[in-house]
Each structure stands twice: as structure tokens, then as C-alpha cells.
Amino acid sequence: MNKKNSLIKRDQQHVWHPYSAPQAAPLFGVHRAHGVRLQLTDGRELIDGMSSWWSAIHGYRNPHIEKAVREQLERMPHVMFGGLTHEPAVSLCERLAKISPDGLERVFLSDSGSVAVEVAIKMAFQYWIARGEPKRNRLLTIRGGYHGDTFGTMAVCDPVNGMHEFFQDILTQHFFAPRPESRFGEQCTDQQFSAFTSALEAAQESLAAVILEPIVQGAGGMWFYSADFLRRVHALCREKNILLIFDEVATGFGRTGKMFAAQHAGIAPDILCVGKSLTGGTLTLAATLCTNEVTSTIASVEPGALMHGPTFMGNPLACAAAHASLDLLARATWQDEVAHIESALQAGLEPCKSIPGVKEVRVLGAIGVVELERPVDMNQVQPAFVDEGVWIRPFGRLVYTMPPFITKREDVDQICTAIKNVLRKHHPNS
């Protein structure tokens, strides 16, 4: 048995992969990764069109990040964050507060995007408990969203078309407004916004917060919506005295062409969640930022603390990686890189519009989406993409790419060509 088949067979005996049956298939072994390429155990090399689920924005094995992690490893790989502190975490929190939208001064570190959103939800609930209004324990969001896989976050994912419909009867029942009709770059009319206003006003007495993915809805539908809609939501929350949470786990740190997607609208939430690309895809780390108003209110009554505490909170290695990733973003070349990727995706994916079965093509920043009329057959399309020399991982009716920011034009062109070829060959039009 060759090395490749041995690895796959061993995996299928004991490993359970995300969103997969106990024996995942099709499955491909990876031997190493460098730059924007993955080398498989069978020797084939693939251009990574997914940035390892949107996180490896600088590609793999970036020397600046690796140097920072090695140096931190020699000092201290980890220490508990309860009652202790250390320079990598403190300076990272200072840095995040400085670069984030205005008013977000307090940072709670965690180890995954789902947990960062859980913490945000808990902050909102504790805020209202502290204010003597414990019945404000529901959230309002929009359909088509995705916020994570834990029970608190699943409850604010799309209840019908999301990945967690199976659990619907046992999740907390929150409130959902229609997905914004106004697209990115368009104004949001009074008529288009009226459904959101109605949903908020109907639930107002029980609302702790509105939670949204700003501008880009990720795994729930890859929909890009109007910055004007977002500004209107912000103004309405201020008018009605309701907290606003932005989930920027997927969009934070440059993916849409701005450091944070909220900056397209020129606004700041009360609570902000970041993760994924925070460390450049090197180590798992996430953060929840909030205003001093949220912090001081929670601290004003018993127990006087946010009741959450991940074991690996503030991990020094992850914090060092995050610093190094932010160093790379501070050099400002990433904005040009994202703009070049956007241009290449627009040109490269345009021909997909004429392929039978394609509903729509959308591009924003370093995000390219081909929405289909019906779901893909992963057993066919996944190996087909590998045969084309690229790693693309579709889900449902969405074939999309979020390449690392360092991806060159010729590699983006190959990603787009692969998407066109696979859809023409392997996706029936009805």
C-alpha cells in the first residue's frame, strides 16, 4: 500500500472531518504547504483557492510569522490567563483596539470564531441583566447568515437554508428579518429597509442585540449587501437603544478591501468579533471587542465579571503570530494585492455567467462567488478541481474562492479557469 492510500485509510478508520460522514470522501492527503500551494501526498501540487477556510491571507510559511512564533516558543509557549498576563497578549489587545472601528476599547481573547461570537452574545445578555432588564434575552439578525457551530451561534444562523436546520427544535428561538435586497454599491431605499424596521420594532422589548455579518454574509450564502443598509441598521439600533454586534470573523483583516467590512459603511458596532485570519492562518485565535459602556455596565453589578474563560485564552504563540500578521498588514501592500485579485476575479469569472445552471456571479475584494441553481455533487466536483490543479471547496449551490492576498494574477486566472471547466463538465444545468 502506498503512502497516500495508507494515510487516507488510517484517516477513515478513526478521524471525523467537518461536515462529513464518519468516513470522509473524497479525501486528499497534504504533505506540505508553502506560499499559495499545497503539495499532496501523491506529489500533485494545488493552488489554494480557499486560504484554508479564509484564514491564510499571507499564504503558508510566511517567514516573518514563523520567526515570531519560534522566538515566542523559546520564551513561553503558553500560560494560563487567569490571574496572569504577558506582553504578547497585552500588546495585541492594545493593537486591536487601535486599528478597530472607533470606540472598541476592551478585548476578550478566545480561540475560535464561534467562541468569539458566543462571548459577544454573552456580553449582550449580561449587559441587560446588569441594567435590570433580564427579559432582553433575544437577538435579531437577517436570513442568510452564518455565525458558527456552537449552540448559541447556531441559533442565529439561517434557520431554514443554513447548515443547522437539523437542530432547529432545540435551539433558542431568535428573530429573523429578510436578507437585504439592496446589493453592495447600491442605496437602500425606505421600502427595502421597512422589513427590518418592522422586525426590530415587533421584537424590541425582548431584544438584547442585533447581530450581523457586515457587508458580506459568509457560509450562509456569500451575499454582498449594501453599506447603506448597514448604516440604517446602526442608526436604528442607536435610536431604539439596542446593542449592535458585528461578526467579522470572515471579513476582518482585509478580505473585502477594507481592514474591517464595517468601514465600508463608516460605522462602529458596540461589539465586534474577529478570528480566522487574525494570525494569518498559523494558529487558532479569535477576539471579541466591545465599548467601555458595555464593559462598565457588566462590571457594575454582581458578579462584576464576564462569565467566560477559555483554557487557551491569550495563548502567547498565537498572540505572537497575530502580531506578525498585523505587521504584514501594516505595510499597506495588501490593499493593492486585494484590488488586483478583485480585478482578476471579475475578469476570470465573468464567462461563468453564460454557463447553464449558473444563477449569478459576485465579486468583492478577494472573494469570488459563482451561485448555482442547484447544489453541486461533491463526489464529482472535488476531485475535478484537484485534477485542474486547484483547491476549491464548494458547499451547496455556492462555488467560491477566497485566495491568499499574495496570490499572483496567473494563479488567480488558473483558479477561475478551473471553476469554469469544472462547472461546464460536471454540473448539469437543471
Please pick, among 60, 158, 276, 400, the residue that the annotation labels catalytic.
276
- CA dihedral for 13, 15, 17, 20, sign (positive or negative): positive
Q: Catalytic site residue 9? A: no
Which of 48, 60, 111, 146 is the catalytic position?
Answer: 146
- Among 124, 95, 127, 151, which Cα is nearest to 329's? 95
Q: Which candidate in 48, 111, 228, 247 is catalytic?
A: 247
Provide the grid cell at 7: 494515510
Of 422, 416, 275, 398, whose CA–CA distance to 341 is shortest? Answer: 416
Active site residue 127: no
Catalytic residue among 3, 9, 19, 240: 19
400 in active site:
no
Within 13 Å, how many C-alpha atoms sit on residue 371's CB side? 13
Q: Is 377 a catalytic residue?
A: no
| Catalytically annotated residues | 19, 146, 247, 276
